[in-house]
Structure 1
Amino acid sequence: MLDVTLIRQHPDRVRDGLRKRGVDVDVPGFLALDAEFRAARTAVEELRAERRRISAAVGARRRDGDPGEELQAQAQELTGRLAEADAALRRLAQRHQEFLDGLPNLPADDVLAGGKEHNQVVRTVGAPPELAQPVRDHVTLSEELGLVDHRRGVRLAGNGYWVYRGEGAALEWALLNHFLDAHRRAGYEFVLPPHLLTEEAGYTAGQFPKFADEVFRTGEGGGRRFLLPTAETALVNLHRGETLDERDLPLKYVAYTPCYRVESGSHRTAERGTLRGHQFNKVELFQFARPEDSEAAQLELLARAEELVAGLGLHYRVTKLAAKDTSPAQAKTYDVEVWLPSLGAYAEVSSVSNAREYQARRGGIRYRPAGGGRTAYVHTLNASGLATSRLLPAILEQHQWPDGTVAVPEVLRHRGLPDVLRPRVTQG
């Protein structure tokens, strides 16, 4: 949520920042609504104060034996006026809050305006591997090696699902454990959060109300929950409504969860296999940081994601997203993208984002300065560390050999995996 004071004091800055995202809002109209809302709130407070004054006067007269009928009549008339003013204030407050809830975060100053076409490649690491032709794609390799059973995944759950099998399941699990071990060594606290979350959790993360239809839901009424689309949604809510101690910051967490997404790919080559689906595995990093530390924290998270990708021997690049391509809750995002030879394109395996105080405002997450003074909102940051459903295709394609075998990254071989994955005739 944006700071309403920022909108009041710097409306042009807010308008111009949102236009970088392609969002044109009626800031003058909101300021008029805001003035009406504040005036209505003041009027209600004044009426309540007047009612308290009259009630006290009635009580004093009664103690003196005077029923104070005239004052009682005034109190009754005031109660009616207060009820009307309260109702008007509630209507204005709802409109006021709906406007604020609908605003995305302001993009950072160094984020370019526009969509994907304005994403900036920050650096490219390594070179695409020189592979024998024809290059096998990840779907063919995963089937020949007996790693992923797409047909039975569809039979079990429908389109957009798959089953990891044999060495494929072992490779998936080895990747997740490798990532978790690395992040724990770096001082991140391991968290296994619930997969079902409340509406308030989605609101704090900035996904609701705008994207409330893009999650899987379960239950009705008060028991209504949704399946988390990413562990970020859970981790940002760990300290919802809390005031943290500055001496404890930054708080660093790492979580493993499946991620559940309503959207999935199609049968187009660029979205086949495990590249896009309704359920995939991801290790997520999260930090609660002081505002003055959040830029450095984002670069630290980016370095962590890059180190893991590089350690798998993969060619990749880092891209800074333009404003329209950045998630609405985030101010700045870097993507780490791996090379897929069969597509001649890159696929994102980690998004490293800084929400600044946007999520903290929605969730009421503050910190108390060590030297005293007023509390302030923390900054929240997240990074995929890493998502595996696109890593497996990149490993298969970049490490393939002409004979159909695939070399297992050396960092994973001590986890019970062979040095080389070899084709199987069938998937039993």
Structure 2
Amino acid sequence: MHDIKAIRDNPEAFDKGLARRGLGGLSAELLKIDAERRDHVQKLQDAQARRNAASKEIGEAMKSGDKARAEALKAEMGSIKDFIASGEAVERDIDERLKAALASIPNIPLDEVPEGVDETGNVEVRRWGTAPAFAYEPRQHFDIGEWLGLMDFETAAKIAGARFVVMKGQLARLERALAQFMLDHQTGTNGYTEHYVPFMVNDSAVFGTNQLPKFAEDLFRTTDGRWLIPTAEVSLTNLVREKIVDEKDLPIRLTAYTPCFRAEAGSAGRDTRGMIRQHQFSKVELVSITTPEQSRDELERMTGCAESILQTLGLPYRVMRLCAGDMGFGARMTYDLEVWLPGQNSYREISSCSVCGDFQARRMDARYKPADGKGTRYVHTLNGSGLAVGRTIVAILENYQNADGSVTIPEALRPYMGGADKITRP
């Protein structure tokens, strides 16, 4: 959420930043509501001051025996009380309108974010690894998985509908192995603290990480009003909600392995086959809570932590810096990691690492106490995938496929796979 005071102080900079996202002229409406609120608050304060003064004057009039004046002042007090009572309700209404307006506006991109309106404006930063060469036309992951007899979309559709999968045997174990490997690596090597968190959250939690109100249609809701998490970012980031942490404890680095649930609204016709875009998938999420001075460097660190998984698994990838028009709602800057998929002959996103500044912290009222002890400041938040497990399975199947239909298991995963070096057809 944006700071209305900052918009008030520099509306031109606010509008200029949003223009990079294809939005413009929003400060005028916000400042109109803000001016209405401040004018109304001033009237309430004046009324409260007059009420206090009139109360004193009534006492003086009663002492002096001026009953007529006392009665007139009491009548005035009554109308003032009525105004204050109704005025407080009006103030709450204006506050809600301003909050709703601010909550509907995306974050301002950092200056170094490239210009652009969609993915065509994204900029490649670097590549790692060499795409494997095949003496045959490489197969896509769903062809490999179905041939192995370990990946079943048809049965999943009978159970749950489209965009689900049933995996069994070595592929089911690969899912578990990847999760354990990723958690061990992110905690043991990269210094994140593992958490077990709720998979269902309340309205305030999803509002805090900016899924609500704008993206409600992308979420699944339970019958009692909770939301299934679209990513562990929601639960992890809200661990500092309504808290004040000490600066000496920052940065805080958190990770969790959870199922994720997304309605995939608006994705009709996209990636309808296979595991690229599903309603249910699992992911190891990374979240950092930092000071404003730390956050930009932390984005580079977090991206490197996600990259280290791909490097350890020997999966070729590239790092893309997203343009202003392609970034997520709450991001100030984002790096996407795109893994090479031979079966698709293309790079596909497997991780997205973003710095959000104080955008989420304002929605959650998450603060820290500076070392100098002067007041409190909003923390900065970051999130990223370390990695999406399902898409990592896709990448392993396609990059490590063999001519006989088997799939070589990356060396780093073999201890988690009971020492096996291949996935074969039973």
Range class of TM-score, shorter chain = over 0.9
Query: CA–CA distance in 2 between the matches of 1:96 and 1:242?
Result: 24
Contact 2:129 2:314 (8 Å CA) reproduced: no
Name the CA shift for 1:152/1:70 in 2 (closer, same or farther; >3 Å).
same
Correspondence for 2:13: 13
After TM superposition, give the deviation of residue 57 of structure 1 in Å: 4.0
1:309 alignment counterpart: 310
Q: 1:210-221 alignment to 2 at 5 Å?
A: 210-220=214-224
1:86 positional shift = 3.2
- Select which of 173, 177, 181 maps to 2:180: 177
Deviation (angstroms), 1:56: 4.1
Deviations 1:235-279 (A, max 9, x none): 1111111111101111111111100000176566x4421111000
Match of 1:77 among 65, 76, 79: 79
Corresponding residue for 2:109? 107
TM-score, normalization: structure 1?
0.94
Residue 353 of structure 1 deviates from its aligned partner by 0.5
Of the structure 1 ranges 257-266 and 85-94, higher mean CA displacement relative to structure 2 is found in 85-94
Q: Distance in 2 between matches of 1:150 and 1:111?
A: 39
One-letter code aligned to 2:17: G
**Cα pair 1:276 1:389 within 8 Å, conserved:** no
**Structure 1 residues 85-107: Cα deviation after superposition (integer angstroms, max 9, x where no partner):** 33443333232222111111001
- Aligned residue for 1:179, secondary structure, equals helix
Distance in structure 2 (CA, Å) of the matches to 1:58 and 1:387: 71
Q: Distance in 1 between matches of 2:276 and 2:95?
A: 43
**Gaps spanning 5+ residues in structure 1: where?**
none
Alignment match, 1:89: 91
Q: Is the 8 A contact 2:163 2:272 kept in 1?
A: no
Residue of structure 1 equivalent to 2:47 = 47
Contact 1:132 1:401 in 2 (8 A): no
Cross-structure match for 2:4: 4
With 172-181 and 14-23 compared, the bigger mean Cα shift is at: 14-23
Deviates more, 1:67-76 or 1:288-297: 67-76
| Residue 255 of structure 1 pairs with residue 256 of structure 2 | yes
Tell me if the contact between 1:122 and 1:319 (Cα under 8 Å) persists in the aligned partners: yes
Change (3 A) 1:2 1:267: closer
In structure 2, distance between residues paired with 1:330 and 1:242: 22
* Matching residue within 133, 136, 144 for 1:133: 136
Please give the alpha-carbon distance, in whole angstroms, between the structure 2 residues aligned to 1:259 and 1:202: 13
Matched residue, 1:22: 22
| Aligned-residue offset at 1:24 | 2.3
Q: Distance in 2 between matches of 1:91 and 1:307?
A: 49
Where 2:325 maps in the other structure, the secondary structure is helix
Which residue of 149, 152, 162 corresponds with 1:149? Answer: 152
How far, CA to CA, are the matches of 2:178 and 2:301 in structure 1? 21
Q: Superposed, which structure 2 residues align to 1:314-333 within 5 Å?
A: 314-333=315-334
CA distance in 1, matches of 2:202, 2:361: 17
| Distance (whole Å) between structure 2 residues aligned to residue 266 and residue 341 of structure 1 | 24
- Which whole-Å CA distance do the structure 1 matches of 2:204 and 2:373 have between them? 30
- The aligned amino acid for 1:295 is R
Q: What TM-score does the superposition give when structure 2 sets the normalisation length? A: 0.94
Deviations 1:84-139 (A, max 9, x none): 43344333323222211111100111112221110011111122110121211110
Deviation at 1:352, TM superposition (A): 0.5
C-alpha distance 161-63 of structure 1, shift in aligned 2 (>3 A): farther
Residue 200 (structure 2) aligns with = 196
CA distance in 2, matches of 1:142, 1:102: 42
AA at the equivalent of 1:385: G
**Pair 1:56–1:240, CA change in 2 (3 A):** farther
Coordinate RMSD, CA, aligned: 1.8
Structure 1 CA distance, aligned partners of 2:410 and 2:63?
88
Judged with a 3 Å threshold, the aligned counterparts in structure 2 of structure 1 residues 65 and 192 are, in CA distance, closer, same or farther, namely farther
Match of 2:212 in 1: 208
How many Å apart are 1:70 and its aligned residue?
A: 2.4
- Report the CA distance between 1:380 and its aligned residue: 0.2
- Residues 368 and 377 of structure 2 are in contact (CA less than 8 Å); yes or no, is this contact kept in structure 1? yes
Aligned to 1:122: 125
1:160 CA displacement: 0.8
* Distance (whole Å) between structure 2 residues aligned to residue 144 and residue 176 of structure 1: 24
Q: Which moved more, 1:84-93 or 1:242-251?
A: 84-93
Which deviates further from its counterpart, 352-361 or 10-19?
10-19
Paired with 1:91 and 1:64, the residues of 2 have a C-alpha distance of 43
CA 1:403–1:266: 2 relative to 1, 3 Å: farther
Deviation at 1:59, TM superposition (A): 5.1
- Bigger shift: 270-279 or 168-177? 270-279
| One-letter amino acid of the counterpart of residue 400, structure 2 | H
Structure 2 unaligned blocks of 5 or more: none
Do structure 1's residue 278 and structure 2's residue 279 form an aligned pair?
yes
Q: Name the CA shift for 1:73/1:158 in 2 (closer, same or farther; >3 Å).
A: same
CA distance in 2, matches of 1:88, 1:266: 43
In the other structure, the counterpart of 1:160 is 163
Q: Using the TM superposition, give the Cα deviation of residue 420 of structure 1 relative to its aligned residue in structure 2, in angstroms.
A: 1.0
CA contact (8 A) 2:30 2:102 kept: no
Deviations 1:287-344 (A, max 9, x none): 1001101011111101110010111111110001111211111101101111111111
